[in-house]
Amino acid sequence: MRKRQGILIVLDGLGDRPNPELGGKTPLESAETPNMDYLASRGMCGNTYPIAPGIRVGTDVGHLQLFGYDSAEIYSGRGPLEAYSAGMKMMPGDVAFRGNFATIDDDYTVIDRRAGRIRKGTSELAESLNGMILEDGTKVLVKELTEHRVAVVLHGEGLSDKVTCTDPGTAAEGSRLVVPSALDESRSAERTADNLWEFTQRSYNILSDHPVNKERNEEGLYSANAIITRGAGLERLMPTLKDLYGIRAACVAGDATVGGIAELAGMDYFTDESFTGSFDTNLTGKALLTLRLINEQNYDWVVMHVKATDLAGHDNIPVAKKEMIGKIDTAIGLILRKIDLNSCYITITADHSTPCEARDHTGDGVPTIIAGGDARRDIVTSAGESQFMSGCLNNLTANDIFMLQMDLIGFTEKVGS
């Protein structure tokens, strides 16, 4: 097959519904999007489903689907993704947890789930626990993430992700830590629950005496004296995009979850402090980096991710969502001026919809464009959920859109002969 390059631009949570603040239009429909309109007019469009109509997905599952995976086969809890995003390389059989540094009292009642939203010293705190060897020989790996977040990995034999975790939940100040228990009859689940509790208790003792916390106590700040965990997940073998399609792929993002999934998929993950995952993210920087990866480093497929559209949906600020879409369109224009659309296809889509009024991810279809080179063209000439209902990609899935991209850039295998 003839080889080409492809860029996938993911606008997190882009899909929306008619909004009264925007005169009954969606943010995408009401935004100024000359570049997306141009791509719509010379490509294929539609509202496409992450998995199937009405199925709501998280950012993690949404991206697995966009990267061509069957998430039902791959997904095993958020823990492993967080561990990947922290740069921890897990081995098959390891069990990972998402965690928070938290403040608890001496009978294990949670005083603050985020240790006063601690930002400094978490690296030293994690390091004091990292490498702990538990009674049965299991080793614990601990690595700080952004702010109060932390990843915990149990590395050893005979572990399981079928356990309850210690975090008593989001509105849980005043509740005691949950003592982990097995969720099935297996010896491995029982052992993992015991290990997690041993780690929790020993961590409390170590962290309580840690210099970082002594300093926090003196300053009147909440002590980060515990790690509370959730999202147990077992490391499974996941074939990379290189294994599956032979492509050399990269991901440009400012969001740790997306970066973690990209790395799980064997993509090279590029980020920068200026890629904040919020409204102030450096869109020009992302566009220039994407261009460099395509034009200079010759990646076959580059994913560029922008998070803020999702935040605007969760916060129900449709005008901000509309304006962010306009800024992203400007960055897309920058890309369009510096690539050859005859040899590089551009796809624009989302991992899921986050309609402002719903304030959460929904199972609505997400706006999608595939354009460039000799790609077919449908009757759609501007970007918007309503317009895309008449497009030729309407009601396809994220996996379909992935395979269409792989096929356009020449990385699919012929079935049969």
Residues in contact with a copy of itself by CB under 8 A are 1-2, 17-19, 47, 51-62, 64, 71, 75, 78, 231, 355, 357-365, 374-379, 385-386, 389-392, 394-396, 400-408, 412-417
Q: How far is the CB of 392 from a copy of itself (least distance, A)?
A: 4
* 361 SS3 class: coil
The beta strand positions in 219-351, using DSSP E, are: 226-234, 249-252, 268-270, 301-306, 344-349
Q: How far is the CB of 410 from a copy of itself (least distance, A)?
A: 8
Nearer to a copy of itself by Cβ, of 213 and 353: the residue is 353
Nearer to a copy of itself by Cβ, of 212 and 370: the residue is 370
Alpha carbon distance 115, 95 (integer Å)? 24
Q: How far is the CB of 105 from a copy of itself (least distance, A)?
A: 28
CA angle 59, 256, 288 (to 5 degrees): 100
Nearer to a copy of itself by Cβ, of 299 and 402: the residue is 402
Q: How far is the CB of 399 from a copy of itself (least distance, A)?
A: 8
Nearer to a copy of itself by Cβ, of 44 and 287: the residue is 44
List of residues 6+ apart from 36 with CB closer than 8 A: 329, 332, 348, 369, 383
Nearer to a copy of itself by Cβ, of 68 and 180: the residue is 68
What is the CB neighbour count within 10 angstroms for residue 236? 15
Q: How far is the CB of 314 from a copy of itself (least distance, A)?
A: 12
How far CA 162 is from CA of 77, 135, 165, 190, in Å, comes to 11, 20, 10, 9
Q: Please say whether the beta carbons of 167 and 229 come within 8 A.
A: yes
Q: How far is the CB of 209 from a copy of itself (least distance, A)?
A: 33
Nearer to a copy of itself by Cβ, of 224 and 393: the residue is 393
Nearer to a copy of itself by Cβ, of 382 and 394: the residue is 394
Nearer to a copy of itself by Cβ, of 60 and 255: the residue is 60
Amino acid residing at 292: R
DSSP codes of every residue in 198-224: HHHHHHHHHHHT-HHHHHHHHTTPPP-
11 backbone dihedrals φ, ψ, rounded to 5°: -100, 100
Q: How far is the CB of 51 from a copy of itself (least distance, A)?
A: 7
Nearer to a copy of itself by Cβ, of 62 and 156: the residue is 62
H-assigned helices in 70-226 = 71-74, 79-85, 122-129, 187-208, 211-218
Q: How far is the CB of 394 from a copy of itself (least distance, A)?
A: 6
Q: Which two tokens stand for residue 385?
A: 């959920």
Q: Please say whether the beta carbons of 383 and 37 come within 8 A.
A: yes
Q: Please say whether the beta carbons of 347 and 290 come within 8 A.
A: no
Q: How far is the CB of 19 from a copy of itself (least distance, A)?
A: 8
Alpha carbon distance 393, 369 (integer Å)? 8
